[in-house]
Amino acid sequence: MTGIFLELKWKQFSRAPQFGAKLAVKVLIGFFIIYFSLAAIFFSGISFFLLEKQFPDQTPLSIVNDHFLYYFVFGFIVRYFFQTLPSTEIQQLLITPMPKNKIILNTIIRSTFSFFNSSPIFYFLPFAIVFILKGEGNVFGVLSWWLSLQMITWTSNNLIFLVNKNSSALKAIIVTAICLYGLQKFNFYNFFTLFGSALDNIYSNPLWLIPVIFALATTYLLLFKFLIKECYLDKSLSKGKEKILGEKLTFLNRFGTLGALIKNDIRLIIRNVRPRQVVLMSFLFLFYGIIFFTPDIYKEMGTLLIFASIFITGGFMMTFGQYIPSWDSEYYSLLMVQNLSYRKYLESKLILMIIATLIACVLATPYLYYGLKIYSMIIAGAFFNMGLGGYITLISGVLNKSPLKLNVKAKAFENTQAFSITQFLFVLPKMGLPVLIYWLGQLLFTERIGILLLGLSGVLGIILNGFLISQIEGVYKKHKHKTLEAYNTNN
């Protein structure tokens, strides 16, 4: 049975348009996954020794155990945003002679082998092996410890599906988490060490595995029962009635066509799963600076600081912006026959990106903590993003030509439907150009002038906006029919 599923998946992939390009991207991503897996394996092996050296009075195992709960919670949040049950596939199979039990069982089994559940293999298994090879721990204990981590991961895999379709379960989990955090905070009860010592116990006495097995079995059973019950088109498989968000926005009415287009984009973002996910991600870019601005070693590496500054205000542009005009792919034909010029359309997108950049500037004010120089770099970067970055983004977007399904969650590592080599190439000017401008400025003059030049390059872009938009308009017009063809055949 799984064979048929795999065959369907393969056909879906191999018969898609632009198969060659997609294959190349998949291969590339495959390499990335292998690279990261190897890195994880290497890192986990090394970390055993590091922990041993840093904390000689504790065993590495118990340190990992004490922090496992953090990892678990973080993983749970990531899963909540990215992991989905393939319910459309269930839908298609409902009326085939395949029994329901089998369909559900298959879905659950396949989810067990998801990428999200691989961390025990890539991270904790090498750790365990190093432990065993060093001959310090007892083999049976280490293995049952590892097994418990794998089972806890699977348990969270099952929980996420229960939670995803059931908002009261989510509320229960959030409330429990807050209560536990509170208890921890006010030193009533240290839940983290409790959890850690429970894992320690499993190592010293494998009999403690039984509750873990029990928990895993329970969630499997619950999930199975839940899915069987919900396996009707009008239950979990349907979307249910949606609440209308962003109805008002009337203040945009006075801006005419531009206002109407921006209003649509705001609604697009708040009412569709995929854009919402992407825009939430873009907020993470705001924290990029902390990584680069905090360590002293980077303090004198101006180019690196500029690089980080570009990211801080460019989050929206790089996440949401790179998929313009793919966001409109579902109804691009409508826009193309409307009484709407490309110019207006492009202007509205630019304004949206500029507004987002300005908001990021305001949100980035806490970076003043790192000093005026850093903040002026952020502002100069923002000017570049607004003045030039936006145009580069728009061009890379139209060359992309992959349609997007708006109301479908993206899966991690499968987020390749709207991803192409051309976008890779456009990262160069988007990221490299600002760094180059700064680098030349500080090389020929001073660091201050480098920052100033970067800001001025953005101002220049703003002054030349009429000319630049015309150029991009030309590119969009040239690609109109190809874009339409790609959007309409794939959707």
Tell the smallest beta-carbon distance from residue 335 to another protein (Å): 9
- Report CA Rg, the chain: 26
Characterize 364-373 residue by residue with b for buried, 16 or more Cβ atoms within 10 angstroms of its Cβ, and e for exposed.
beebeebeee
By CB under 8 A, name the one of 26, 100, 110, 267 that touches another protein: 267
Q: How far apart are the first and last CA of the chain?
A: 28
Q: Which of residues 386-415 bind another protein (CB under 8 A)?
A: 406-407
**What does the block give as tokens for 347?**
């202007």
Closest approach of Cβ 239 to another protein, in Å?
7
DSSP 360-395: HHHHTGGGGGG-HHHHHHHHHHHHHIIIIIHHHHHH
Among 244, 297, 362, 372, indicate the residue that binds another protein (CB under 8 A): 244
Residue 340 Rama label (left phi>0; alpha psi -120 to 50; beta):
beta
Name which of residues 311 to 370 contact another protein (CB under 8 A): 330-334, 336-341
Complex with another protein: residue 156 or 272, whichever CB lies closer: 272
Rounded Cα–Cα distance for residues 201 and 189 (Å):
18
Binding residue (CB under 8 A) for another protein from 44, 158, 219, 272: 272
Minimum distance between the CB of residue 271 and another protein, rounded to whole angstroms?
4
Sign of CA dihedral 327, 329, 330, 336: positive
Q: Are 60 and 51 in contact (CB under 8 A)?
A: yes
Please enumerate in sequence order all residues whose Cβ is within 8 A of that of 177, keeping only pairs 6 or more positions apart, or say none: 73
303 vs 338, beta carbon nearer another protein: 338
Contact 212, 148 (CB under 8 A): yes
Closest separation between CB of residue 396 and another protein, Å? 23
Q: Which of these segments, 23-31, 63-71, 265-273, 307-315, binds another protein (CB under 8 A)?
A: 265-273
- For another protein, give the closer residue by CB, 12 or 491: 491
Helices (H) and strands (E) in the chain, counts: 24, 0
Q: How far is the CB of 479 from another protein (least distance, A)?
A: 12
Q: How far is the CB of 164 from another protein (least distance, A)?
A: 20
The closest of 60, 68, 47 to 199, measured between CA atoms, is 68
40 near another protein, rule: CB under 8 A: no
Number of residues this chain uses to bind another protein (CB under 8 A)? 34
Question: Candidates 109-117, 195-203, 262-270, 458-466 — which segment interacts with another protein by CB under 8 A?
Answer: 262-270
Should residue 262 be labelled a site residue for another protein when binding is judged by CB under 8 A?
no
Residues of this chain that bind another protein (CB under 8 A): 239, 241-242, 244, 247, 253, 256-257, 259-260, 263-264, 267-268, 271-272, 330-334, 336-341, 406-407, 481, 484-485, 488, 491
